[in-house]
């Protein structure tokens, strides 16, 4: 199975700050990577697919990038509503595997 190593496990940041979360794939997954946001008590929501494409309705302050087998999610100016847990997920091959998650809190 493809392992997705996500870092950091938790992150505390201030409003308007730039936040970056990374995910390292254990093997080549091309651009087949998604990012999800899960707010407290809610179901996950798709943010980014294809490593860099923004899902419908997602604010433009979110962006995704790829460098080899390392993937990054960037929030350009952190807002209160961005608080939650973020997961990466590889869609290259079954079984679909998720990263362990990054808990984002306000400082």
Partner 1 sequence: QIQLVQSGPELKKPGESVKISCKASGYTFTDYAMNWVKQAPGNGLKWMGWINTQTGKPTYADDFKQRFVFSLETSASTAYLQINNLNIEDTATYFCTRWGYYDGSGYFDYWGQGVMVTVSS
| Interacting residues toward partner 1 by CB under 8 A | 31-32, 34, 36, 42-46, 49-50, 53, 55, 87, 89, 91-92, 94-101
Closest approach of partner 1 to the CB of residue 17, in Å: 24
Closest approach of partner 1 to the CB of residue 86, in Å: 11
Closest approach of partner 1 to the CB of residue 14, in Å: 26
Residues in CB range of 68: below 8 A, 6 or more apart: none
Please compute, for residue 75, the number of CA atoms within 13 A of its CA located in the half-sphere on the CB side.
24
Quote the CA–CA distance of 30 and 50 in Å, as a whole number. Answer: 9
Distance between start and end Cα atoms, the chain = 36
**Between 30 and 59, CB nearer to partner 1:** 30
């Amino acid at each position: 199975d493809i392992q997705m190593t996500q870092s950091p496990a938790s992150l505390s940041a201030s409003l308007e700050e730039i936040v970056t979360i990374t995910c390292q794939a254990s093997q080549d997954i091309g651009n087949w990577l998604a990012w999800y946001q899960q707010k407290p008590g809610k179901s996950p929501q798709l943010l980014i697919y294809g490593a860099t494409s923004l899902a419908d309705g997602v604010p433009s302050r979110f962006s995704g990038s790829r460098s080899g087998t390392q993937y990054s999610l960037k929030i350009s100016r952190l807002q209160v509503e961005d608080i939650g847990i973020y997961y990466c997920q590889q869609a290259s091959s079954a079984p679909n595997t998720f990263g362990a998650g990054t808990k984002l809190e306000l400082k």
